[in-house]
Amino acid sequence: MDIRLGFMINILKAYNFVQGNYYYNIITGNIGSIFATGGIMSVFKEGIR
């Protein structure tokens, strides 16, 4: 298996996990967690570019 492919799959898993937390936090109404998770997402998106 190509190492790069495995690396991309791991990134996608991490991204989906963060997105899941983001929507979970919206549902539970935890503003602090939404802010923290949103910050992580923005950093992650900047890192991909």
What is the domain partition of the chain in residue ranges? 3-48
pLDDT at 7: 80
Q: Which pLDDT band, with edges at 50, 70 and 90, does 9 fall under?
A: confident
pLDDT at 30: 62
pLDDT tier at 49, thresholds 50, 70, 90: low
Distances (CA, A) of 36 to 7, 20, 21, 30, 39: 25, 14, 10, 10, 5
Length of the chain in residues, anyone? 49
